[in-house]
């Protein structure tokens, strides 16, 4: 049972990384417009996040230190600061999007305007991050987020033409009514949603919180190899139900409610109840991850005491950063910014920040000063280097594609 709960960190990271508000929105929209022709991007994203999450988790387990702590020391304060500023801009934007996602999920459950929920959600997330133990956080939201498996059940119940879905997934194509630039814009968005920077910050910092050591590398890899592929499969299921229900009718998904409706069509009110639980758990869990990631990264770079396992008075500056970032995220949303549009921007800007996130991890994972005999092997370096090329291409293409397509319009 202890080993089972040890996997909860990976499950929470996967549910909050692959199936956060960004993934819910992007996969639903992509499924309704492009069918399963962009599933290859999800597969590429799964492999990529597994490669770098394994590196960051191994670094944390062997060195006992988290990502930004080592990046500043290994690459110097200037490179570390550039990394920090780029990743924090994206993570804070994502934090606001996740809080907005929780508010949208609560709107679906209560019919109360989401802007009335936003301050309540922001305060609730901060209280959880301040008072709730890390183990409770990862176990509760990681396991509750598994309610999103209902999308896979609904896809089966809808009885689609499996041969047609397989053909769409295995032979990518651009639909006749879509442009190639729009297709690749959403490819970059899906890739950014899969490999958002906060995932590795949270994963490595969580490993330090749980006192991983070199003997725990097997558990860490199980977290990676079970959690992230699970998140990827849920992403494909979300795109699948949108493909089956909306694409034949030419309906473009634009709201969180539309994403969940096919489950209600297939499974009735019970299915919708699971959808609402899954939406809430995934977005709230992701909000906790991103909020912690802001605090983790700034505190680690500046050398402050940090962590949920540390008494708040001993890590006062860490908790102050989390509080201020929560206030800033709520303030951004209360400008009446559309949480869905904010989500779409956050996943695209995530792609822009990817090289600054993953290059330092590759460097540290190859440094014997920190890693000893646990440095990267040939396979890790080959995959890591190949993915740096991919993330660089995605980063360079993201903004031009967003401008040319008017954010996928």
User: Residue 138 has what pLDDT?
Assistant: 67
Residues in the chain, overall count: 409
Global pTM reads: 0.88
Residues 105 and 21: their CA atoms lie apart, in Å, by 10
Residues 373 and 388: their CA atoms lie apart, in Å, by 23
Residues 257 and 243: their CA atoms lie apart, in Å, by 16
* Chain segment 253-275, per-residue pLDDT in tens: 888 889 989 999 899 999 999 99
Q: What is the dihedral of CA 130, 220, 19, 292, to 10 degrees?
A: 20
CATH class label, 2-405:
mainly alpha
User: Residue 10 has what pLDDT?
Assistant: 56
Residues 122 and 115: their CA atoms lie apart, in Å, by 11
User: Residue 12 has what pLDDT?
Assistant: 54
Task: Name the burial class of residue 67, with classes exposed (0-12), middle (13-18) and buried (19+) by CB atoms within 10 angstroms of its CB.
Answer: buried
Q: What is the SS3 string spanning the chain? A: CHHHHHCHHHHHHHHHHCCCHHHHHHHHHHHHHHCCCCHHHHHHHHHHHHHHHHHHHHHHHHHCCCHHHHHHHHHCHHHHHHHHHHHHHHHHHHHHHHHHHHHHHHHHHHCCCHHHHHHHHHHHHHHHHHHCCHHHHHHHHHHHHHHHHHHHHHHHHCCCCHHHHHHHHHCCCCCCCCCHHHHHHHHHHHHHHHCCCHHHHHHHHHHHHCCCCHHHHHHHHHHHHHHHHHHHHHHHHHHHHHHHHCHHHCCCCCCHHHHHHHHHHHHHHHHHHHHHHHHHHHHHHHHHHHHHHHHHHHHHHHCCCCCCCCCCCCCHHHHHHHHHHHHHHHHHHCCCCCHHHHHHHHHHHHHHHHHHHHHHHHHHHCCHHHHHHHCCCHHHHHHHHHHHHHHHHHHHHHHHHHHHHCCCC
* Chain segment 135-172, per-residue pLDDT in tens: 677 677 777 778 888 999 999 999 899 999 999 998 88
User: Residue 289 has what pLDDT?
Assistant: 86
Residues 189 and 172: their CA atoms lie apart, in Å, by 17
Question: Which parts of the chain register pLDDT below 50?
Answer: 1-2, 4-5, 16
The residue written with tokens 């539309």 in the block is 258
Q: Which distant-in-sequence residues (6+ apart) come within 8 Å of 211 by Cβ?
A: none
Residues 11 and 14: their CA atoms lie apart, in Å, by 5
């Amino acid at each position: 049972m202890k080993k089972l709960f040890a996997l909860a960190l990976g499950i929470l990271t996967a549910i909050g990384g692959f199936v956060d508000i960004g993934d819910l929105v992007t996969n639903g929209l992509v499924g309704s417009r492009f069918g399963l022709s962009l599933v290859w991007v999800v597969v590429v994203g799964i492999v990529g996040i597994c490669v770098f999450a394994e590196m960051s988790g191994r670094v944390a387990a062997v060195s006992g230190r988290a990502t930004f702590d080592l990046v500043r020391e290994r690459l110097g304060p200037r490179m570390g600061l550039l990394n920090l500023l780029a990743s924090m801009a994206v993570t804070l934007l994502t934090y606001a999007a996740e809080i907005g996602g929780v508010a949208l999920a609560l709107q679906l459950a209560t019919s109360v305007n989401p802007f009335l929920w936003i301050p309540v959600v922001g305060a609730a997330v901060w209280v959880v991050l301040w008072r709730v133990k890390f183990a409770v956080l990862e176990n509760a939201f990681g396991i509750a987020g598994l309610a999103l498996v209902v999308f896979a059940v609904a896809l089966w119940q809808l009885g689609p033409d499996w041969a047609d879905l397989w053909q769409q997934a295995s032979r990518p194509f651009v639909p006749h009514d879509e442009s190639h630039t729009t297709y690749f814009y959403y490819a970059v968005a899906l890739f950014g949603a899969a490999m958002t920077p906060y995932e590795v910050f949270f994963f490595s910092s969580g490993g330090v919180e749980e006192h991983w050591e070199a003997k725990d590398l097997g558990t860490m890899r199980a977290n990676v190899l079970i959690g992230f592929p699970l998140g990827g499969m849920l992403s494909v299921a979300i795109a699948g139900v949108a493909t089956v229900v909306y694409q034949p009718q030419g309906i473009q998904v634009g709201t969180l409610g539309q994403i969940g409706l096919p489950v209600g069509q297939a499974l009735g009110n019970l299915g919708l109840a699971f959808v609402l639980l899954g939406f809430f758990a995934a977005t709230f869990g992701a909000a906790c991850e991103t909020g912690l990631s802001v605090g983790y990264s700034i505190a680690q770079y500046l050398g402050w005491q940090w962590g949920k396992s540390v008494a708040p008075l001993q890590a006062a500056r860490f908790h102050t950063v989390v509080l201020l970032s929560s206030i800033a995220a709520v303030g951004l949303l209360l400008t009446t910014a559309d949480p869905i549009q904010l989500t779409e921007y956050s996943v695209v800007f995530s792609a822009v920040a990817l090289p600054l996130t993953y290059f330092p991890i590759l460097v540290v994972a190859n440094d014997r000063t920190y890693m000893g005999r646990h440095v990267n092997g040939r396979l890790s370096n080959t995959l890591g280097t190949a993915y740096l090329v991919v993330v660089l291409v995605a980063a360079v293409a993201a903004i031009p594609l967003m401008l040319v397509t008017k954010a996928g319009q």
